[in-house]
Structure 1
Amino acid sequence: MAHSQFDLLRQRRFLPYFFVQALGAFNDNVFRQAIIGLLGAMAVAGTIDPGLRGTYTQLAPAIFILPYFLFSAVAGQFAERTDKARLIRITTAMEIAIMSVAALGFWLQSMPVLLVALFATGMQSTLFGPVKYSILPAVLKPEELTGGNGLVEMGTSISILIGMLIGGLVFALGGDAAPMIAGLLVIALAIAGNLVSRMIPSVPSVTPDLKINWNLWSESLKAWRLTRKQLAVRNAVLGVSWFWFVGTVLTGNLPVYAETYLGGTQTLYVFALAVFSIGVGIGSLLCEKLSGRVVEIGLVPLGALGMSGFLLDLYFARPDPATVTGLDVMGFMAEPGSWRIVMDLAGIGVFSGFFVVPLFALIQSRTPREETSRVIAGMNIQNAIFIVIAAIGGIALQEKLGWTIPQLFHALAVVGVLVSLWIFSIVPEFAMRFVSWLMMRTLYRLRVHGIEKYVPDEGAALIVCNHVSYMDALILSGVIPRPVRFVMYYKIFNIPVMSWIFRTARAIPIAGARENPELMQKAFDEIDAALAAGELVGIFPEGALTKDGDIAAFKSGVERILKRAADAGRPVPVVPMALRGMWSSMWSHRDSRMRRMRLPRRFRAHVEVVVGDPIDGRTATAALLEDKVRALRGNDA
C-alpha cells in the first residue's frame, strides 16, 4: 500500500497542530513586517526622526530573539512536564493577549508599546518552540517523522513568506486605516490559532513530576549539555544551527542584494525571497520520497554540498553591481543571466530542505522521549547564538573589511563545505548513509511491503532474511526505519570500501566455528548484548550467499541466539523478511565472475522487501523461520 506524507493532513493527530504552527509563524511575520511598515509610514508623515527609525529597525530583531536566550531552558522544562496539547492552547491564548497589546501599539502608533509586544511575542515563540518539534515523535510513527517534519518545514517557510507579504501590503495599500487593519489582523490570527489548538488531541507528558529549575543560567547549560549526550544528535543540532546561520546571512542581505546587484526594487526582493522560501518548501516535501519513509540522514551530506554549490554559483552569477536600476520582476527576468540567479536561489532552498528535515527527524528519533523538549530547547539557544553571530558577522565583514554581498555568499559557500566535512568526519554515519543511500537509489528500484506494520518501533527484535547478494544488508538497512546491527560473514565485512560502510553501521562480523571459533563466539556475545540493549539485529541464517537462487537450509545459530536471550529472561520477537528480485540483480551469484564484472542489463533491477508477522522467539526454530521466509519470497527469487 502506497503512503504519502499528505495523508497526515487528513488526520486529527497532525492536522490541527500543523495549522496552529503555520498560523503562529504567519502571525509573527505579519506583526514584524507591519512594524516595519508603520515605521515607513511614520517617516513619510514626519512623525518620527529618521535616525530613530534606523535605531528601531535594528533593535526589533534583537528584542525578538532575546527571549530565546533567557527563557528557552525554562520553556523546555514546561514542555517536558506538561501535556503538549494543553501547553499549545496556553501559548495560543498568550498570543491573543500579546496581539491585543500589539493592536494598541498600532492604533496609538507607539513604538515602545509595539516593542514590548514584540518582546512578549519572542517569549511566546520561545515557549512554543520546544513543543513544536517534541510533539512530533509523540504523535507520529518512526517512518512518518521525515514526512511530518517535511510538512512542518514547508508550512513554516511558506507561512513566513506569506506573513511578510501580507504585513507589508497592509501599510502599502491600507492608507490611513493601515494601523487599525494591522491591529485587527494580528488579533484575528491569534484567535484563529487558539480555536484550532483546541482540536489537538491530548499528548500526555512522560515526565509529569519533573521539577522546574528556575535558574536560567544553570538550566540553559544543562539543556545545551543534553544536546551533546549522543554524538549524532550533537552534530545534528550543530547542523540545524548552521542552517539558521546560512538562512540569516542569505535573507538578511537579500534586500540590498536585490537592489544593488540585481538592479531591482522592493518587489524584486520579495520575489527573490519567495523563490528561496518555495525552494525550501519543495526540498522539505521531497525528503520523504527520497528517503523511502525512513530517517535518512544520507540526505544531509547531499543537502550540505548542494547548498554550498548553489551559493558558490550565486557569487559567480553576479559578482558586480548591476548596471541598471528600478527593475521589476518581469524586467529582471528579461535581463541576461537572470534565470541562473533564480535557479541558484531555488537550489539553495531545495537543498536546505534536504539538509535540515532529516536532521530534525534524527534528533527526534535518537533522543529519549523524556528529554526531547529540553534537547529542542538547548538547540534553540544554540540557534539563537548562530543567528546573532551571522547577523553581526555579516555586518562587520561588510563595514570593517569592505566585503561585498557576493563575496559574503562566496565565503559562506566555502565555510559550508568545511563545516560539513568536519561534521561528517566526526560522525561517519552521516557520510556512510549518504554513500549507501546513493548506491541503493542508483542501483535498484525498491518496493517495500509490511515494514511499517511488522517492524517494532522500539525494543529488541531479531530480523531474519534470505541472502542473495553482497548488497542485502545495505538494502535492508535502507528501508528499515531504525538502525539495524547486521551479522555478516567476515569476508564480506572486509570487502574494501564496503567495509567502511559496514563498520560505521556497527555490523557484527562472524566466522564459522572451524574457521575462527574466537570470532564466532565474540559475534554471539555482541548479538546478545545488542538485543539486551533493545536494538534490532539482522542475520542471514543461510550462512552464505545462495548459489542457485533458492533458499538454503537455515543454520541452527539463529536458535542459539534466541535461546540465549530467552534463558536470560528477555525473549525477543523474530521478524521474517524476504528479498525478491535480487537473484537477477547485480552482484548475485547468478552469473560467472567474469560476467559479473561487466555492467549488466540488470542495472536498476526491481527489488522487493516483503515482511511477515513477528514470531515469538521462544517458539521459533530454524526450520519454522525458513518456511516463513520461503513463503514470503514465493516463486520470485
Structure 2
Amino acid sequence: MSTKSQFGLFKLRRFLPLFVTQFLGAFNDNLLRAALVAIFTFTVLVSENHEDIYVIAAQGLLSLPFFLFSATAGTLADYFEKSRLITYVKYGEVVIAFLIALAFWSKQPAFMLGLLFLLGTQSAFFAPLKYSILPQHLDSSEIVGGNGVVQMGTFVAILLGTIIGTQLVGTEPEQDVDYVVPVVLAVFIIFVAVAGLIASYFIPKARSHLDSKPRWNPITVTRDLLKIASERRSVMRSILGVAWFWSLGAVYLAQLPNLTEDYLYSSKSVLTLLLSVVTISIALGSLTCEKLSRKHVEMGLVPIGAFFISVIGIELFFAINAVPETAPRTVLAFLQTPSSYRVLIEMVFLGFFMGIYVVPLQTLVQVRTPVEKRARVIAAMNVMNAFVVVCGALWSLLWLHVIGWDIPSLFLFMSIFNACVSVYIFLQVPEFTMRFVVWMLSHSMYRVRHEGIDLVPESGGALIACNHVSYIDALVLAGAVRRPIRFVMAKDVYDMPFLNYLFRACRTIPIAPKSVDPDTYDKAFEDIEQALEEGDLLCIFPEGRLTPDGKVGEFKSGIMKILEKTPVPVVPAALKGLWGMKFTHHGEGLFKGSWKLRSKLGVALSAPVEGPDVNLYALQREVVRLRGAYQ
C-alpha cells in the first residue's frame, strides 16, 4: 500500500531502517574525512610541507574504493539476499570504527588514511545494495519520493558529518592533538557504526535474482557491468548525467573554502553557512521532485534542472566578481551586504535545481533496469561516478594550479560545460525533450484532472484504447500515465513538423490505411506485435482519425486484429475538455479554436479488460461513458 506523502515512508519498516542505516553510514564517512582534513590542516601532526598531500589523499581515498570495488559489490548484491549482506557490511564498519580509535591513539597519519580507505570500501559495497533494494521494497508510486528522501538524507549526513568532524578537531592553526579529541572522535564514530548495525537488522528481506556464481576479477567484472548498463541507451545516458552531477557538486564544494576566504573575503563561519545552504538546497530540490512529478519518474524535470544549473552558474560568476574586497567577514555582516547576499541566494537556487536534476536520473536507472541486473547497473553507475569525480578534481587542479586561472572562471567553465553535457544527453535520448514538453504542457497550458490512472498495469504488455480529439492527445496522455507509452497514430499526424521529433522520441508507431499505404500498414502491425510481446504499454486511437464534431466516432476493427495475435489487457480511456481548443478540428482551421491558458482537461480510465474478453462495441460504449457529456 503506497503512502500519500514521501514523509509517510518514515512510518514504514520497509523504508525507515534502510534510511537510518544509510544516513548513519554517510555521516560516519564524512565525519572521519572532515576530521582528518582538519587534523592534517590545523594541527602539528604532519609538517607544513606535507599537509597538502595528506589533505588531497583524505579527499581521494574515500572515493577510490568506489572505482576499485563497485563492480564486485554490484555482483554480490545481485547474488546474495540483500538485507543480510547489508548487515555483514555494517559489521565491517563497526570493526573499522574500533581500528580508527586505535589509529587516533597511535597518532599515525598513514594508519588513519588507510582506515579511511577501508571505510570508503565498506561504503562502496553498501551503495549498490542501498539503491537496488529500494525498488524491491517501495511501490512504483513511492520510488521517486523514496529516492528524494534518500538523496536528502545523504546530503544532510554529508553536511552534519563535515561540520561536526571539523568542529570536534577545531580550526585554530598549529594546535597540538591532545588525547581528548581522538577519544571523543573515536567514541562518536563507534557509536554511529553500532547504531547503523542495529538499524540494519530491521531491514526486510529482499531476495537475490542472480543464479550464476559471482566472478572476482575486477577488470572483467567492471567491463561486464558497463556492458550491461549500456543495454538501454536511456539508462546509460542517465548514468552519465548522475556522474556529471557528482563531479559538478564535488568541484563546487571542494572550492568553497578558498572561494570564501579569497573571493568573498569572509570567515570560516561564512564557509559553514554556504556549505549548509548548498547542501540543504540540494536536499530540498530532491524532496520537491515527488510533488512536481506526481509520484512517477518524470524525465521532463531533468532539462529544467540542467537549464537553471547553467544559467545560475554563469550568473554566479558575475556575482562573485561583484563582491568588493572590503566585504565583511562575519556571518551577520555577510547577510547584510547586497553583493554577498546575491551570492548566497544564487547558491540556494543552484543547489535546489541540482536536486531537481539528479533525482529523476537516479530513479530512472533503478526502474528501467531488470531486477536481476539492478545492483550491477547501480554498481556501474558508482564506477562512473568515481571516475568522473576524479576527472573533475584533476581538471580543477589543472585549471587552478597549472593554467593559473581563478575559481570564479572555473565555475563559469563548469556551467557552460554543463550545458554541453546536457545537450549531448538530450540529443542521445530525445525522450528527455519529449517529457519536458509534456510536463510544460500539463503544468502551464492546461490543468489536467486524472481519474483511474492507477488502473493501468504496472508492467507487461497492454493497450490503452482512447478517443481521438486533437493533435496533442498523445502528449496529454503521456503526461498523465506513469508508465512510458508508445502510441499508434495516423501517419499524417506522425509526420507533422516538430511533433514528429517528439513522436519519434517516444517510439511512436505510424499507421496508414491499407488502401493508401500497404507497407506502412503491414509494418505497423508487425511493430505493434513485437512491442506488446516485449512488455510495452501501447496506446491506440480506434476511431482511426481525429473527431470532426467532438463526439466519439465508430471504432475500427484494427484493435481486434491486434488482440487476435497478442491478447493483452485493454484499458479504456477518454480525453475530456480538449474539443474547441487549439489543435482540434473545431472551427475553420487548426488554430481557430480557443487559446485559453490553464484550461481544465480530464483524462479518465477504467479497469483493464482481458484481451480475449474485449468486444469492440462494448469498448466504444465504455469510452463514451468515461467521456460523459464533457467533450
Corresponding residue for residue 166 of structure 2: 168
Mapped partners of 2:397, 2:25: distance in 1: 29
Corresponding residue for residue 217 of structure 2: 215
**Post-superposition shift, 1:519?**
2.3
**Post-superposition shift, 1:380?**
1.1
**Post-superposition shift, 1:629?**
2.1
Corresponding residue for residue 180 of structure 1: 183
Greater alpha carbon shift after TM alignment, 394-403 vs 172-181: 172-181
Question: Contact 2:34/2:165 (CA < 8 Å) preserved in 1?
Answer: yes
**Post-superposition shift, 1:321?**
7.1
Mapped partners of 1:455, 1:579: distance in 2: 15
Corresponding residue for residue 542 of structure 1: 543
Question: Contact 1:38/1:179 (CA < 8 Å) preserved in 2?
Answer: no
Corresponding residue for residue 378 of structure 2: 376
SS at match of 1:143: coil
Q: 1:197 aligns with which of 200, 211, 220?
A: 200
SS at match of 1:433: helix
**Post-superposition shift, 1:484?**
1.3
Q: 2:112 aligns with which of 111, 114, 118?
A: 114
Corresponding residue for residue 605 of structure 1: 599
Mapped partners of 1:6, 1:517: distance in 2: 54
Greater alpha carbon shift after TM alignment, 328-337 vs 575-584: 575-584
Mapped partners of 1:444, 1:538: distance in 2: 21
SS at match of 1:608: strand
Mapped partners of 2:364, 2:531: distance in 1: 20
**Post-superposition shift, 1:334?**
1.7
Q: 1:278 aligns with which of 277, 280, 283?
A: 280
Does 2:626 match 1:628? no
Map 1:109-508; keep pairs closer than 5 Å: 109-172=107-170, 177-207=180-210, 209-319=211-321, 322-324=324-326, 327-452=329-454, 454-508=455-509
**Post-superposition shift, 1:590?**
4.2
Mapped partners of 1:411, 1:169: distance in 2: 33
SS at match of 1:382: helix
554 and 9 in structure 1: CA distance in 2 versus 1, 3 angstrom threshold:
farther
268 and 175 in structure 1: CA distance in 2 versus 1, 3 angstrom threshold:
farther
Mapped partners of 1:349, 1:476: distance in 2: 32
Map 1:43-58; keep pairs closer than 5 Å: 43=44, 47-58=45-56
**Post-superposition shift, 1:620?**
0.5
Greater alpha carbon shift after TM alignment, 323-332 vs 271-280: 323-332
Mapped partners of 1:633, 1:111: distance in 2: 72
Greater alpha carbon shift after TM alignment, 108-117 vs 9-18: 108-117
Corresponding residue for residue 28 of structure 1: 29
Q: Deviations over 1:267-322 (max 9, x none)?
A: 11111111111121121112122222221212112211111111111111122774
Mapped partners of 2:446, 2:11: distance in 1: 32
Q: Deviations over 1:318-372 (max 9, x none)?
A: 2277413661221112223223211221222111112111111111122222111
Question: Identity across aligned pairs (percent)?
Answer: 40
TM-score (norm 1): 0.93
Q: Deviations over 1:41-77 (max 9, x none)?
A: 632xxx5422233332121122222222221111111
Letter in 1 for 2:241: G
Q: 1:579 aligns with which of 575, 580, 583?
A: 575
Q: 1:588 aligns with which of 580, 584, 587?
A: 584
Greater alpha carbon shift after TM alignment, 134-143 vs 488-497: 134-143
Map 1:41-80; keep pairs closer than 5 Å: 42-43=43-44, 47-80=45-78
Residue correspondences, number: 625
Greater alpha carbon shift after TM alignment, 545-554 vs 335-344: 545-554
178 and 509 in structure 1: CA distance in 2 versus 1, 3 angstrom threshold:
same
TM-score (norm 2): 0.94
Question: Contact 1:509/1:523 (CA < 8 Å) preserved in 2?
Answer: yes
Corresponding residue for residue 174 of structure 2: none
Question: Contact 2:584/2:593 (CA < 8 Å) preserved in 1?
Answer: no
Map 1:545-560; keep pairs closer than 5 Å: 545-560=546-561
Unmatched 5+ stretches in structure 1 = 566-570
SS at match of 1:287: helix
Question: Contact 2:260/2:266 (CA < 8 Å) preserved in 1?
Answer: yes
Letter in 2 for 1:51: N
Mapped partners of 1:397, 1:40: distance in 2: 23
Letter in 1 for 2:525: F
Question: What is the aligned-residue RMSD (CA, Å)?
Answer: 2.1
Question: Contact 1:584/1:605 (CA < 8 Å) preserved in 2?
Answer: no
Mapped partners of 1:321, 1:465: distance in 2: 58
